[in-house]
Amino acid sequence: MTFSHVLGYPRIGADRELKRAVEAYWQGSLDRDGLESAGRELRARHWAAQREAGLDLVTVGDFAFYDQVLDLSVTLGAVPARFGAEEEIAAGEVGLDTAFRMARGRAPSGEPTAACEMTKYFDTNYHYLVPELHAGQRFRLASSRLFDQVAEAQALGHPVKVSLLGPLTWLWLGKEKGEQSFDRLALLEELLPVYGELLARLGEQGVEWVQLDEPALVQELPTAWQQAYEAAYSVLGRAPVKLLLASYFGGLGDNLNLAVGLPVDGLHIDAVRAPEQLDAVLDRLPGYKVLSVGAIDGRNVWRADLALLRERLASARMRLGRRLWIAPSCSLLHVPVDLTRERDLDPELASWLAFARQKLDETVTLARLLDGRATEVDRRRLEAATEALQARRDSPRIHRPEVADRLAGVEPADHERRSPYGVRAEAQRRALKLPLLPTTTIGSFPQTDAIRAARRALKAGELSRDEYEARMEEEIAYAVARQEALGIDMPVHGEPERNDMVEYFGEQLDGYAFTRFGWVQSYGSRCVKPPVIYGDVSRPGPMTVRWSRYAQSLTDRPMKGMLTGPVTMLQWAFVRDDQPRETTCRQIALALRDEVCDLEAAGIRAIQIDEPALREGLPLRQGEWPAYLAWAVECFRLSAAGVGDETQIHTHMCYSEFNDIIESIAALDADVITIETSRSDMELLDAFREFAYPNEIGPGVYDIHSPNVPDVAWMVALMEKAAERIPVKRLWVNPDCGLKTRRWEEVEPALANMVEAARQLRRRFG
Ligand code: GLN
Ligand code: ZN
């Protein structure tokens, strides 16, 4: 009998109950017992869903109030000293509030303390808390949370499999801290006994299987790390439990032999992103090992093609017999919870989708189909899937010949501005008449309660479209007047009409759909609701022109139009899986190109195309970077290159690691790029200097993530450092990012100081 299981299930709840409970606890309206019981209830519900679906094991260890990597760090006693948890660690019971303080710097009890760093988990939008590692660090079991949850599931009568991050990926995701330089891999020896103890305790609890997640195995690993896998697992393999080593988010590549050969009882592979590795793994898998095939897409929302999967996996079933397990490719944490809640979604589109709850059913049905023990329900599911997928393949809503034709007609010249930057810069200087070190902002101004209330009223039908638009024009007029008064050289309209920089455009493009409850955890209690790109993308009509034109009518200064770039539009969505991502991105680029040209025709002389997600789209394997960067750059250029020399194209990116992609950044050929720099003390400009970045740069001098008002001298000093690295005539003065999360009371004095700093700098350099 083919076993079915999941690597993890979303914990937020179909109604984001976890978010509500955790936030209520932080605010003091829910006490500790209340929070714990909300957690217990969610776990019970999620385990029940897994059993009701017919999975053979329920997964324990995927729950966390904030982050499962944080919980593991706590369990291992890896709590940085500044949280003052020595006693809690010694007692083996680090408190919940200590964990919350690590996550967000404060909790209902305990001193506020600088939080741990947070970053994206591999190439997902899920953020984990980075383990802080010190030379000579000691570990010890410091929480019994996991054991309690195992007991909880057992008391409910469930067959339990525990899921945990493996020791090497935990170290891989960690960061060396402290004065003394050292290699975090050196901590493995100290770490293994604690893992061993943990596994022994689970064994005592009667747990048969423990899944150790080692997704680092799909990346290029240094030789020392590869060897460490051998050493670590030969120790862990002696634990009194069976180990399932889980790889996901890609193929094992050159780690395949290593992963297959480790002395554990089973291996999980991602057969969605890397279906080609299945045969190689089958050929090498030792006869005693279980192979868990991740056949259902854990990273995307599309319904599985059960008939095709049955066919593809038939030989694996023959070869492995009962040693074959079926699962989604990775934890279902990365997809929304339950499709049946989407009552407003177009039924045809809904029939092409599967969320976490539906993926449980797909997993179970696939396992039973492979065994030849399909029930009536399985047969109906198989048929329904086949029918829906057939309809999807043929649907005129997805395949729009005019979009494909247009893309086929794109020529190399369409990616090129008319003249090189030098010529354009001259033309723009004459047309825009900007001073040395011009000032601008990144696009958004504060999203006030009044703005949000107006948008809600529009959606609720309490405000007419005309009334709403008049309200937005008032906001724009206000923002423009403030910028004129402040003396900003290149104003923006302020984006009051945008709820979100992707949703705003997606809602106006064909091929995009939006769910009502399709929430996915991003970090802590924060969830995002990515749109679904289901079909060929095109632009029925202008999206931003009326706002930009209105804003320009209020001022003689050159108004900067504001768009979200093609790569970011792609990256922050669930993307269709029936054509290469690159093709979808090019379609978006063409739609944006029309918007750029329409803005130019409406008299907008500068247009910013934001690409904050360009860097995070980098593949997990560095060997695949060049191909990605090539098409990402082409898409940006395709969206931008339709305008004349005098029209100034800006782009914006809010992160600070450019070293390894600087060539591609330059290849975008934007006339101006604004970036985040204020917290890195302009050091990141070194990458731009060393590469001799040819175009204009606005290094952010005002950290918008902080409520503090930066003073003039501070910003002058930052720009002086910038001027040591980039010629002054190619520098701009601007904040780090958009101002939508700030209040006007913070923004006005900060921008006044920024403008004053620019004036002082002009006197110095002019
Ligand atoms: N133009 C956007 C804004 O100002 C850019 C946001 C971003 O970079 N994430 O809000
Ligand atoms: Zn930004």
What average pLDDT does range 256-280 have in this prediction?
98
Ligand 1 center to residue 503 CA distance, Å?
13
Alpha carbons 64 and 68: distance in angstroms, whole number: 5
pLDDT at 237: 96
pLDDT at 668: 98
Q: Which residue, 755, 754, 753, 746, is CA-closest to 706?
A: 746
Ligand 1 contact via 652 beta carbon (within 6 Å): yes
Q: Per-residue confidence at 666, pLDDT binned at 50, 70, 90?
A: very high
Alpha carbons 35 and 26: distance in angstroms, whole number: 10
Alpha carbons 442 and 666: distance in angstroms, whole number: 19
Ligand 1 contact via 564 beta carbon (within 6 Å): no
b/e map 661-698, b = 16+ CB within 10 Å: beebbbbbbbbbbbbbbbeeebebbebbeeeebebbbb
Atom of ligand 1 nearest to the CA of 653: 8
Q: Which residues, in sequence order, are bridge partners of residue 58? A: 160
pLDDT at 657: 81
Mutation probe of ligand 1 site: the residue of 497, 500, 501 with most atoms within 8 A of C-beta: 501
Residue 680 has pLDDT above 80, yes or no: no
Ligand 1 contact via 562 beta carbon (within 6 Å): yes
pLDDT at 706: 83
pLDDT at 681: 79
Q: Residue holding tokens 């095939």? A: 293
Q: Which residues, in sequence order, are bridge partners of residue 490? A: 440
Average pLDDT, the chain: 97
Q: Tell me which of 124-138, 152-166, 678-692 is least confident.
A: 678-692
Q: Per-residue confidence at 655, pLDDT binned at 50, 70, 90?
A: confident
Alpha carbons 467 and 604: distance in angstroms, whole number: 25
Q: Are 504 and 479 in contact (CB under 8 A)?
A: no
Alpha carbons 73 and 676: distance in angstroms, whole number: 30
Instruction: Quote the distance between the C-alpha of residue 419 and its chain's center.
Output: 36
pLDDT at 654: 85
Local structure of residue 587 (DSSP, 8 states): H
Q: Are 174 and 133 in contact (CB under 8 A)?
A: yes
Q: Which residue, 568, 604, 607, is CA-closest to 588?
A: 568
Of 657 and 403, more confident: 403
Residues 6+ apart with CB under 8 A from 33: none
Of 766 and 238, more confident: 238
Query: pLDDT per residue over 699-758, tens digit each?
Result: 999 998 888 899 999 999 999 999 999 999 999 999 999 999 999 999 999 999 999 999
Alpha carbons 121 and 758: distance in angstroms, whole number: 39
Ligand 1 center to residue 610 CA distance, Å?
7
Ligand 2 center to residue 247 CA distance, Å?
33
Strands across the sheet containing 510-513: 510-513, 532-538, 574-575
pLDDT at 683: 82
CA angle centred on 123, ends 117 and 129, rounded to 5°: 20
Residue 236 has pLDDT above 90, yes or no: yes
Query: pLDDT per residue over 590-610, tens digit each?
Result: 999 999 999 999 999 999 999
Ligand 1 contact via 443 beta carbon (within 6 Å): yes
Atom of ligand 1 nearest to the CA of 608: 1
Ligand 1 contact via 565 beta carbon (within 6 Å): no
Ligand 1 contact via 442 beta carbon (within 6 Å): yes
Instruction: Kindly report the backbone phi and psi dihedral angles of residue 492, in degrees, each rounded to the nearest multiple of 5, phi listed first.
Output: -130, 165
**Measuring from atom 4 of ligand 1, which residue has the nearest CA?**
738
Ligand 1 contact via 738 beta carbon (within 6 Å): yes
Ligand nearest the Cα atom of residue 441 = 1
Alpha carbons 226 and 432: distance in angstroms, whole number: 56
Alpha carbons 173 and 132: distance in angstroms, whole number: 9
Ligand 1 center to residue 651 CA distance, Å?
10
**Measuring from atom 3 of ligand 1, which residue has the nearest CA?**
738
Mutation probe of ligand 1 site: the residue of 503, 609, 737, 747 with most atoms within 8 A of C-beta: 737
Q: Are 357 and 338 in contact (CB under 8 A)?
A: yes
Instruction: Kindly report the backbone phi and psi dihedral angles of residue 513, in degrees, each rounded to the nearest multiple of 5, phi listed first.
Output: -135, 155
Ligand 1 center to residue 55 CA distance, Å?
43
Q: Which residue, 328, 314, 310, is CA-closest to 248?
A: 328
Q: Which two tokens stand for residue 674?
A: 């604004």
- In DSSP notation, 517-567 reads S--EEEETTEEE---EEEEEEE-SS-SSHHHHHHHHHT-SS-PEEEEE-HH
Atom of ligand 1 nearest to the CA of 498: 10
pLDDT at 602: 98
Q: Which residue, 440, 484, 421, 490, is CA-closest to 699?
A: 440
Strand bridging mode 209-213 / 160-165: parallel
Alpha carbons 67 and 198: distance in angstroms, whole number: 19
**Measuring from atom 5 of ligand 1, which residue has the nearest CA?**
738
Alpha carbons 143 and 127: distance in angstroms, whole number: 22
Alpha carbons 289 and 320: distance in angstroms, whole number: 9
Query: pLDDT per residue over 509-527, tens digit each?
Result: 999 999 999 999 999 999 9
Residue 679 has pLDDT above 90, yes or no: no
Q: Per-residue confidence at 193, pLDDT binned at 50, 70, 90?
A: very high
**Measuring from atom 6 of ligand 1, which residue has the nearest CA?**
738
Q: Which two tokens stand for residue 96?
A: 């919940």
Atom of ligand 1 nearest to the CA of 652: 8
**Measuring from atom 9 of ligand 1, which residue has the nearest CA?**
612
Ligand nearest the Cα atom of residue 675 = 2
Identify whether 652 is a catalytic site residue. no
Strand bridging mode 324-328 / 290-296: parallel
Mutation probe of ligand 1 site: the residue of 503, 652, 751 with most atoms within 8 A of C-beta: 652
7: left (phi over 0), alpha (psi -120 to 50) or beta: alpha
Q: Which residue, 517, 524, 518, is CA-closest to 22?
A: 524
Ligand 1 contact via 493 beta carbon (within 6 Å): no
Portion of the chain with pLDDT greater than 70, in percent = 100
Q: Which one is catalytic: 334, 399, 493, 705?
A: 705
pLDDT at 230: 98
Ligand 1 contact via 610 beta carbon (within 6 Å): yes
Ligand 2 center to residue 706 CA distance, Å?
14
Ligand 2 center to residue 139 CA distance, Å?
38
Query: pLDDT per residue over 565-597, tens digit each?
Result: 999 999 999 999 999 999 999 999 999 999 999
Q: Which two tokens stand for residue 142?
A: 């410091």
Ligand 1 contact via 612 beta carbon (within 6 Å): yes
The pTM for the full model equals: 0.96
pLDDT at 684: 81
Ligand 1 center to residue 429 CA distance, Å?
25
Ligand 1 contact via 740 beta carbon (within 6 Å): yes
Ligand 1 center to residue 496 CA distance, Å?
12
Q: Are 718 and 706 in contact (CB under 8 A)?
A: no
